[in-house]
Amino acid sequence: MVTRPLLVFDGDCGFCTTSVRFAERYVRPRCAIVPWQFTDLEPLGVTQERAEYEVLWVTPAGTVYGGAQAVAKALLSARGAWPVLGAVLTLPPVRWVAHGVYRLIADNRHRLPGGTAACAVPGRRPHTS
């Protein structure tokens, strides 16, 4: 049972881990942050395929947001000016652009600083809930 929001990321990916460490230090979202490799995904209603595909925000009620919307939720949970950016990321057409930018980054994270071959996203599209 999730008692507070949970941010689930790919702990095998150097780029993802670096991004999460930045968020922990500067954004400070009010949530637990865990790599999917050390998380029991089934009770969260999340498949391994989806966890490999995108960062996830899981609410205590069990709602799962992925990709750019998970990032927006993390920003909304923070203090300072971060929630403003999170709110902007939820608005159309910014939401659509954010999704495209997120996919571009996620699909190429193995090429980015800190990325390794382990960062490559599998070629499958996840089942979203």
34-93 per-position pLDDT tens digit = 999 999 999 999 999 999 999 999 999 999 999 999 999 999 999 999 999 999 999 999
For 9, the enclosing helix (H) or strand (E) is strand 6-9
At 113, the amino acid letter reads P
Query: Model pTM?
Result: 0.87
Banded pLDDT at 115 (limits 50, 70, 90): low
C-alpha dihedral sign at 37, 38, 40, 45:
negative
- The CA dihedral of 34, 107, 87, 82, to the nearest 10 degrees, is 60
Report pLDDT for 129.
45
Strand, coil or helix: 57: strand
Among 2-6, 42-46, 80-84, 111-115, where is mean pLDDT lowest? 111-115
Q: Let me know if 61 is exposed, middle or buried by CB neighbors in 10 A (0-12, 13-18, 19+).
A: exposed
Tally of CB atoms within 10 A around 70: 21
- 41 near 47, Cβ under 8 Å? yes
